[in-house]
């Protein structure tokens, strides 16, 4: 590796030429892609034409790549510049977003997320309270239902006992119903 660095220091023109070759290759690739797209459009005229936004996005990305390559090589063959990831981020319309704007968007997104989360938690807690209340109501109604059944059975038993007593005495008594319907 030291030999490479030494060679690099001794041959700055060669490094600049290599970077220019890479730029030219990149531009040639872009031109080939555009030619292929045009060729496909001419071959298949009955198919839907390519979306203008997609073509514009490809062209914008290609221009951004070319400008980044140009910046990296520098016009004088100077040191390569490194870009932060924030500089390369694009908004929904394809424009670069500044770091402060990105930070503001992140803060707003985090705030909105916290608000949605708080609302969800409050709704969940309210639902849990309602479930607990409904379970208590169900238990109260079950207990009342059991009491009423016991009372009904007790009364039916008394009616049967009275009717048996009256039959023994010779009176005719109607039979009580087996179930009560309202």
**H or E element in which residue 68 lies:** helix 52-73
Q: Tell me how crowded residue 64 is: count the other CB atoms within 10 A of its CB.
A: 14
Helix (H, G, I), strand (E, B) or coil at 96: strand
Provide the whole-model pTM: 0.36
pLDDT values of the chain reduced to their tens digit, one per residue, 182 residues? 556 556 556 666 666 677 777 788 878 877 777 777 776 666 554 444 445 555 566 666 666 666 665 555 554 555 555 554 544 566 667 777 678 888 999 999 999 999 999 999 999 999 999 999 999 999 999 999 999 999 999 999 999 999 888 888 876 656 666 666 55
Q: Are 87 and 53 in contact (CB under 8 A)?
A: no
Which residues lie below 8 Å from residue 176, measured CB to CB, with a gap of 6+? Answer: 156, 159, 160, 163
Helix (H, G, I), strand (E, B) or coil at 81: coil
Q: Dig out the tokens for 66 from the structure.
A: 């070319």
């Amino acid at each position: 590796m030291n030999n490479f660095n030494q060679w690099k220091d001794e041959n700055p023109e060669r490094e600049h030429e290599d970077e220019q070759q890479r730029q030219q290759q990149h531009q040639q690739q872009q031109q080939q892609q555009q030619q292929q797209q045009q060729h496909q459009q001419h071959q298949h005229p009955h198919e839907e034409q390519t979306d203008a936004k997609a073509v514009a996005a490809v062209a914008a990305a290609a221009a951004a790549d070319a400008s980044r390559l140009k910046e990296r090589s520098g016009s004088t063959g100077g040191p390569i510049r490194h870009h932060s990831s924030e500089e390369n981020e694009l908004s929904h319309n394809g424009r670069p977003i500044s770091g402060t704007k990105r930070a503001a968007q992140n803060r707003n997104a985090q705030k909105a997320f916290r608000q949605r989360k708080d609302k969800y938690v409050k709704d969940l807690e309210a639902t849990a309270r309602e479930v607990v209340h409904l379970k208590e109501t169900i238990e109260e109604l079950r207990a009342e239902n059991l009491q009423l059944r016991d009372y009904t059975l007790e009364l039916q038993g008394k009616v049967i006992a009275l009717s048996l007593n009256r039959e023994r005495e010779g009176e005719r008594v109607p039979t009580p119903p087996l179930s009560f319907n309202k």
